[in-house]
Structure 1
């Protein structure tokens, strides 16, 4: 059971990372990924960019639910909640 939740958390982190890269590439107007992240941090919308990256977690979550892999879906959900809390705390500071 714990292994399945860990796999779901790992998939959630990978999906969020890929989503962040895609969002930065699409919204970056052709700039380098690191430049987009730096600019987003300086302009105060890095949290929004990270939240956009979490959209891929939704896809992973529903794939696990459809395959009846509930514990993996729970791991993806845990990472998504963690990212939401991280984004909220990051926005405060």
Structure 2
């Protein structure tokens, strides 16, 4: 079973601005993204998905969110959810 598909950051949607354009070039999020993308997560059991039920989130995306929360002292999942919601 595949992971939940993510929308590319440079794709235009309902609004004329892409998500990638809303993030500064020197933001720490970009460093986290590059760091996690270079990791080989296939050697861990995290990447094995079940064949039934709802697809899971990509472990790389969850790791990026965890690292971002750790760097910004956010331990609550509710805080992380609030900060990751895109508001236009």
TM-score scaled by structure 2?
0.30
TM-score scaled by structure 1?
0.29
Q: Between the two structures, name the one with larger relative contact order (CA 8 Å, sep ≥ 6).
A: 1
Select the structure that is richer in helix.
Answer: 1
